[in-house]
Amino acid sequence: MQLNSIKPAAGSKKPRRRVGRGMGSGLGKTAGRGHKGQRSRAGGFHKVGFEGGQMPLQRRLPKRGFKSHLKALSAEITLGDLERLGKDEVDLLTLKAVGLVGEKVKTVKVIKSGELKRKVNLSGIGATAGARAAIEGAGGKVAAVPAAE
């Protein structure tokens, strides 16, 4: 193979459409723009979603849902995660260090999923009612979560 013999695959390159080059070309006269109207004229432009003055679809449909900007700042961990962690004292920095929660997280809550058989003391971490009962049942404690800043 030589650099001067390289060619694209057959059928991969099509010649560009040369519009307005006479009737024999098949794209003469109106050059594929039809007759009259905004789109036939030079500079004829309308914004995306414009429907000729009719109320556009994106404005006819109802608004639904939202994306919370606080989602990245809060996280959940399970009782099973605490069991696998293998530490007696757990706080936010510990969870970040082992990679159970992201670096941006500011609040963490323990949810009742999985089992906890060991004693774990939580500080600065919230817990659901069921998770709190399971932690205290295993001999651990849940310290009060400090007030949000």
pLDDT digits (tens, 9 = 90+) for 31-88: 999 999 888 999 888 889 999 899 999 999 999 999 888 888 999 999 999 999 888 8
pLDDT band for 149, please (50, 70, 90 cuts). Answer: very low
d(CA 129, CA 137): 12
Q: Which of 8, 31, 65 is the last residue of a domain?
A: 65
Same domain (yes/no): 50, 108: no
Give the predicted TM-score (pTM) of the model: 0.54
Domain that holds residue 33: 20-65
Residue 58 covered by a domain: yes
Q: Which of 8, 30, 65 is the last residue of a domain?
A: 65
Q: What is the pLDDT of residue 59?
A: 95
Number of domains in the chain: 2
Residue 7 is encoded by which pair of tokens?
């060619």
Q: What is the pLDDT of residue 145?
A: 67
pLDDT of residue 24 exceeding 70: yes
Q: What is the pLDDT of residue 72?
A: 87
Backbone torsions φ then ψ of 79, nearest 5 degrees: -60, -35
**Chain centroid to CA 77: how far?**
21
Residue 76 is encoded by which pair of tokens?
């959940």
Same domain (yes/no): 91, 130: yes
Same domain (yes/no): 86, 138: yes
Residue 108 covered by a domain: yes
* DSSP letter, residue 15: P
Q: What is the pLDDT of residue 148?
A: 52
Least confident range from 16-20, 26-30, 76-80, 141-145: namely 141-145
Distance between the two ends of the chain, CA-based, in angstroms?
Answer: 68
Residue 8 covered by a domain: no
